[in-house]
Amino acid sequence: MAASATERKTRYGTAQPNIVFILADDLGFADVSCYGRRDFTTPNIDRLATEGVRFTQAYANSAVCTASRVPIITGRYQYRLPVWLEEPLSTRTPRKIGLPPDHPTLPSILKKAGYCCALVGKWHLGTLPEYGPLQSGYDYFYGFRSGAVDYFTHKSGSAATSAEDLWEGDVRIHRPGYLTCLETARSNSSKATPQAASLSSSVFTSMHRIGLGRRRATRRSRNV
C-alpha cells in the first residue's frame, strides 16, 4: 500500500493522503526482479521497492486467492467469515455466499472519512445481486467478478458459450482488448476516483492464469 505525495487537509487539520493499493493475485516472492527474478525485468515495480520499502519477510493469511483477500478488505482473519470456506468460490456453489454487505470494510470505513473508493480488477467475493464491490463500500468498480477470466475474451468459461465477465459498476460491458491493459488504463483514469481524497485498489491476475495467451501477453508485459 502506498500513499501518494499529494495530501489534503481534513476539517480537523490532519493530512488526508490518497491511497493506492496494488495487489498481484498469486504473485510469488521471486516473481519480480527486485526479489531475484533473472529471466525478465520489472523496472517499475523495482522502482517502487527502491523508493519505498522492500519487505524481506512477510506472512500471507492464506495460500489461496479469495481467502487471502478477505483479511485485506475486512482487517479480520478469514476464518471468521463463511466466504473463506468456499474455495474456489464459484457459481456452482450450492448456496449463496459472499462478503456480507453490512460487514465493515476498508472502503466503507474510508467513505465515512470523505474518501472516494474504487476497485479495478478482480472481485470474486460473491455474486450479484447480494454481493459485490458497490455493496461493500466501493463507489466505483471496473473488472470481473469470477475467480479468473481469459485475458482476451474476458470469459471465465467456454469462449463459445459463456458470457463476458467484464463489468463497470453493476452493468456487464464489452470492451475489446487485453484485460490487464484495460484495467491499467482505467486505474490511471480520473473516472475511477474523481474526488479529492481517494482509495484506488487494483487487483491484477496476470500471475493467476499466466498460461493464457502467453506469447501475446509476454510481449505486453516485459516492462511491468
- Only one residue has cell 524481506, namely 56
Closest CA to 99 of 68, 135, 139: 135
Closest CA to 126 of 88, 157, 178: 88
Catalytic residue among 65, 116, 117, 154: 65
Residue 65 falls in the annotated catalytic set: yes
Catalytic residue among 116, 117, 124, 154: 124
Residue 124 falls in the annotated catalytic set: yes
Helices (H) and strands (E) in the chain, counts: 5, 7
Q: Record the cell numbers describing residue 106, joined without a space.
A: 476498508
In sequence order, the 6+-apart residues with CB closer than 8 A to the CB of 8 are 15, 16, 17, 196, 197
Q: How far apart are CA 143 and CA 71, in angstroms?
A: 20
Q: How far apart are CA 49 and CA 67, in angstroms?
A: 26
Q: Is the Cβ–Cβ distance between 143 and 156 less than 8 Å?
A: no
Question: Which residues belong to the active site?
Answer: 65, 124
